Amino acid sequence: MNNPLFILKQTYGYGQFRGQQAEIIDHVNEGGSAFVLMPTGSGKSLCYQIPSLCRDGVGVIISPLIALMQDQITALEQLGISAGAINSGMPLRDLLRVRQKLENNQLDLLYVAPERLVMEEFLEILDQVNIALFAIDEAHCVSQWGHDFRPDYTALSLLATRFKGIPRIALTATADQATRKDIVERLELDEGKTFIGGFDRPNIHYSILERNNPKKQVLDFIRNHHPEDSGIIYCISRKKVEDMAEWLQAMNINALPYHAGLTPEVRSRNQDRFLREEKIIIVATIAFGMGIDKPDVRYVTHMNIPKSIEAYYQETGRAGRDGLPSNAYMIYGMDDAAMQRNWIESSEAPDIQKRIEHQKLNALLGLCEAAICRRQILLEYFDDSCEPCGNCDTCENKPETFDGTIPAQMALSAVFRTGQRFGMVYVVDVLMGKEDERIIRFGHDRQSTFGIGAKLSKNEWQNIFRQLVSQNLLMVDINEHNGIKITDKGFLFLKKKDRVNFRKLTEKQKRQKGKSPRKARIELDNNLDQILYENLRAARQQIAKKRRVPAYVIFNDKTLIELAKVRPKNFEDMLEISGIGTAKLKKFGQTLLDVILAA
């Protein structure tokens, strides 16, 4: 049982390691520490689970979300792995039972939250236990430059000194260069090895659209492309979460809200239903999602922009963890940038951190207004690269660009001459020479900028203003009734007479503005295989319901697809199917084999 490949096959049901998994596992098995950066769904968990099974002692996994520990433990138990958790949300009886198993060396894996791990009482227990390794999951939480900094993580540096000689492995899917450096320094992993496995998620299709009747845009997207699928919809506030969930329910769509303002009981119940049921949507703030292991989430929708490319990458990474086709669909507007900038400025963060957060937001806005492959921009942000992917909206409908220098100068001049206190609609009316009562009252019809932009349409000017905000030449001040102001960068642009290019809003693109991405429904090549796949899904759901566990814990969709295509005739053949190990074969094999033989 000390052979990683044997464990991979017998326990997990996979014939070979992917990417750098084998190298990482060998390194940790030999007692080495490591920092691991791998995309969501690439099998990071195996990099600490298998060494925990190979090495003598228990693997201690530090995870930030207590609510999801039990689901991870349930999945491990189906594989025949002894796993437990110690956290503040457990009944005393369960906590004592796990503690006894820990002290008797009967656990392969133990999950704890960072705040529990650093308690002296708990550390004293660990002093008496044989420990195989420490794994710090979601390691970006340790960095103040990361998109989800958590102060509790900073104390984890004590592992290096208190438990010398025990390997430590820190893992994350999202970290730019500054965050990576910070993680390695704070966790004292300088003498360890760094493994970077790339960031590309080729199964995800990226689409970013201008907000235009957002509820209808999202409803059409779901009905046209994901009527039978589970998905996540992110909203910017609790109020918007509840409003969207209620509206979808009124549209006969199975949607549940999730945010920090709900009672713990309601949050727990809604999360539990999302994990265990199929064809279900969770509408949430960003409080939801970290550590979600549900592999069959077929889409992630953002109704507002997140705060950074890291956050966007991690949140969209919750779709298609099983590697099957999935969608990342975002709609955004100019007010999103204003709200995010206001949050940055009103925070108590030091100035240097505010500057970094503004830079991160600028990079995200650049992604939104991109005229080139979205995947290229995403990967380049993380120092990775790819050719134009053909699997994003800008590759499928390449935007035209134009020299926007003169219109940009006109727009900034109009903002300046109207006092930098009016909203976009008003300034556009001035540029177009609209004889509005307010414009006349304020005397802006006598300004030199009045009517100078009459050759462009209202939609074209709105497109220009949105891109001026995304390029940080203009900003929207939400404390001043959404008045538009010129930024320092904008004044520098006027002074230096720089050039600027914009995406062109063509007639073709106007017609395609509401076009949704390609369908991501799982469809097999022939009808008989498709019917068998659906029957296997139904059998899986029955097994899961009986055991009160999520369906994906039994087998994931990829395994069912392979079963439907290959149609194994006996247990020996079934062991050749990816995702079927000996423990699961013994528990569930006969039920699925009966379905296959009856087809």
- Greater confidence, 106 or 350? 106
pLDDT of residue 491: 95
Beta-sheet strand order (sheet of 204-210): 204-210, 326-332, 297-302, 230-234, 281-284, 255-258
Confidence of residue 459 (pLDDT cuts 50, 70, 90): confident
* Token reading at 2: 């000390």
Separation CA 513–CA 503 (nearest Å): 13
Separation CA 178–CA 185 (nearest Å): 11
Has residue 39 got a pLDDT over 50?
Answer: yes
Separation CA 471–CA 109 (nearest Å): 48
pLDDT of residue 395: 94
Highest mean pLDDT (candidates 82-86, 153-157, 520-524): 82-86
Q: Which of 576, 570, 538 is nearest to 554 (CA)?
A: 538
Separation CA 133–CA 338 (nearest Å): 45
Separation CA 593–CA 597 (nearest Å): 6
pLDDT of residue 42: 85
pLDDT of residue 506: 58
* Token reading at 400: 């035209």
CATH 3.40.50.300, the chain: domain bounds: 4-196, 204-396
Lowest-pLDDT range of 140-144, 198-202, 243-247, 255-259? 140-144
Domain 4-196 superfamily per CATH: P-loop containing nucleotide triphosphate hydrolases (3.40.50.300)
Q: 3-state DSSP helix/strand/coil percent for the chain, to nearest 5?
A: 50, 15, 35
Has residue 474 got a pLDDT over 80?
Answer: yes
For range 450-461, the mean pLDDT: 94
pLDDT of residue 110: 97
pLDDT of residue 333: 84
Separation CA 111–CA 63 (nearest Å): 7
Mutual angle of helices 309-316 and 351-368, in 10-degree steps: 60
Question: What burial class does residue 119 get, using C-beta atoms within 10 Å of its C-beta: 0-12 exposed, 13-18 middle, 19+ buried?
Answer: exposed
Q: What is the mean pLDDT of the chain?
A: 90
Has residue 483 got a pLDDT over 80?
Answer: yes
Mutual angle of helices 374-381 and 351-368, in 10-degree steps: 160
Q: 211 by DSSP, 3-state: which?
A: coil
Confidence of residue 511 (pLDDT cuts 50, 70, 90): very low
Amino acid (1-letter code) at residue 242: E
pLDDT of residue 278: 86
* Token reading at 217: 């845009």
Q: Which of 325, 318, 139, 152 is nearest to 225 (CA)?
A: 325
Secondary structure letter of residue 151 according to DSSP: G
Confidence of residue 129 (pLDDT cuts 50, 70, 90): very high
> Above pLDDT 70, what percent of the chain?
95
Separation CA 204–CA 197 (nearest Å): 17
For range 331-356, the mean pLDDT: 85
Q: Which long-range contacts (CB under 8 A, 24 or more apart) does 366-373 make?
A: 366/470, 366/471, 367/208, 367/309, 367/312, 368/208, 368/305, 368/330, 368/332, 368/470, 369/466, 369/467, 369/470, 369/471, 369/503, 370/394, 371/398, 371/399, 371/400, 371/401, 371/501, 371/503
37 beta partners: 172, 196
Has residue 507 got a pLDDT over 60?
Answer: no
Has residue 428 got a pLDDT over 80?
Answer: yes
Secondary structure letter of residue 157 according to DSSP: G
* Class for the domain spanning 204-396: alpha beta
Confidence of residue 516 (pLDDT cuts 50, 70, 90): very low
Q: 335 by DSSP, 3-state: which?
A: helix
pLDDT, tens digit (0-9, with 9 covering 90-100), for 159-196: 999 999 999 999 998 888 888 999 999 999 999 999 99
Separation CA 130–CA 104 (nearest Å): 10
Has residue 96 got a pLDDT over 70?
Answer: yes
Separation CA 591–CA 221 (nearest Å): 36
Residue 135 phi/psi, 5-degree rounding, is -115, 125
* Token reading at 411: 């727009």
Has residue 28 got a pLDDT over 80?
Answer: yes
338 beta partners: none
Separation CA 399–CA 392 (nearest Å): 12
pLDDT of residue 478: 62
Buried b / exposed e over 391-412, threshold 16 CB at 10 Å, is bbbbbeeebeeeebeebbbbbb
Q: Which residue has the tokens 């104390």?
A: 155
* Class for the domain spanning 401-505: mainly alpha
CATH, range 527-598: 1.10.150.80
CATH 1.10.150.80, the chain: domain bounds: 527-598
Has residue 229 got a pLDDT over 90?
Answer: yes
pLDDT, tens digit (0-9, with 9 covering 90-100), for 238-256: 999 999 999 999 999 999 9
Confidence of residue 476 (pLDDT cuts 50, 70, 90): confident
Q: Which of 381, 533, 371, 352 is nearest to 467 (CA)?
A: 371
* Token reading at 224: 């046209």
- Greater confidence, 513 or 540? 540
CB 37 within 8 A of CB 195: yes
pLDDT of residue 80: 94
Separation CA 453–CA 407 (nearest Å): 8
CA 289, 226, 378: angle at the middle one, nearest 5? Answer: 55
